Structure 1
């Protein structure tokens, strides 16, 4: 018996997503976050459709929305526990930085350790300003949220912000 496959065809405007999706599938497989479809073949635009395509194994199952009405609370809780386990495993995949992921991180944001280090340096600079009797701008209270607020204040005051054309506005945080 032949195993079913999925053939995903990409419109020209989404062609870049093909490489991203294959890269993410490889990351998930390398870190045993699964199940993950196996990519059997990838093709460029040299075909009758003149579109990129990916052929991958089809994962068996049904959408939770199609079956949840027939499940008891304990079964639903177990399913959500499993989903949480997968999400926890995804968050354990090491990256050099955070940001929008393609085959690399675009517009990298600092890791939590880098964020803590930046906050420490900002607070040290503020103490030096205070000791010198100079005004101190409001400081972020904690973590990436505070740095994002500080960054927004900077950009709204005419600061520079570079945005990659593939960035769709999603921000990932851990």
Structure 2
């Protein structure tokens, strides 16, 4: 939003969407989370629980609708730490015609906020619970591979076809976005050749799984009790939900938050039910590693194209270096064998 949401504006909105909550008492913006405008809304009535309001641009109705559908999907399938949708508007008059989603406010603080204060045992326990939740999500039957918006859009029957389609799209965009010839055509050719030479690894994923698509610490809420116990209380922002290889959720979580931390990896795998005899603390299972590198390339391409679209070009040089390392560098091999 170009302007901060005011109490009178929020009051007008909630008088229409959730009149039983009563008058709006307070409005505050969340510091972390989605790129959309996200606010905590408090009410004057003592028994009216606060809610979360997310406001989207006038041209982003599809994003608002997809997030509402994804949240309903998660809570409808028993992922109870996901916020519950309370109201939706495709064009709210009080917001100048912008769409919005109102959801329940989950307790706790983001793992980004509290992570540095956790002991290794507490961090391991939180990631164990993350692994449990992802295992439950990934176990939900899916009818094919593809983008999810209420249903799987143009589903494909196997992971190799799905990833071939994804790489074709992302590499085409990368060629268009990489204006500098140095990181552009040569690197794009190298990436295309590497993916083509190793795409058989995608077939190791035998069935599609519903993936959250943006699991990382700003989207995970944790409640730390006085007795030192930790509880995972929230899984936020499923806008990127898709049906694919469950390892893609792990790759994103590692790239953004775990960064090879053995305590986090061991907790995650423990909760997910992965036990590899003789595996030293920290590394991913050997059978996953060829796919992990391919998915890291896919993620870096996605980020490069996204940051180009939104004009945050400061990130592009580091992503270019990462792509070069992933496709040919010794540093990539070292990371994959952590």
Distance 1:142 1:91 in 2: 20
Picking from 147, 153, 170, the partner of 1:100 is 147
Aligned to 1:109: 156
Whole-angstrom distance in 2 between the partners of 1:144 and 1:20: 28
The structure with the greater share of residues assigned to helix is 2
Q: Number of paired residues?
A: 129
Change (3 A) 1:32 1:8: same
For normalisation by structure 2, the TM-score amounts to 0.34
Q: Is the 8 A contact 2:144 2:156 kept in 1?
A: yes
Identify which of structures 1 and 2 has the higher relative contact order when contacts are C-alpha pairs closer than 8 Å and 6+ apart: 1
2: CA distance, partners of 1:104 / 1:171: 10
Task: Tell me if the contact between 2:152 and 2:243 (Cα under 8 Å) persists in the aligned partners.
Answer: no
Of 42, 49, 71, 1:3 maps to 49
Unaligned runs of 5+ in 2: 1-45, 163-196, 206-239, 247-338
Of residues 110, 114, 124, the one that matches 1:67 is 114
Give the CA RMSD over aligned residues: 3.0
Name stretches of at least 5 consecutive residues in structure 1 with no aligned partner. Answer: 116-137, 147-167
Q: Is the 8 A contact 1:97 1:109 kept in 2?
A: yes
Displacement after TM superposition at 1:171 (Å): 7.8
1:82 paired to 2:154: no
2:62 is paired with a residue whose SS is helix
Q: 1:71, 1:142 → 2: CA distance?
A: 37
Structure number with bigger Rg: 1
Question: What's the counterpart of residue 68 of structure 2?
Answer: 22
CA displacement at 1:9 relative to structure 2: 1.0
1:41 and 2:100 are equivalent in the alignment: no
Rate the CA distance shift 1:67–1:143 in 2: closer, same or farther, 3 A: closer
TM-score (norm 1): 0.63
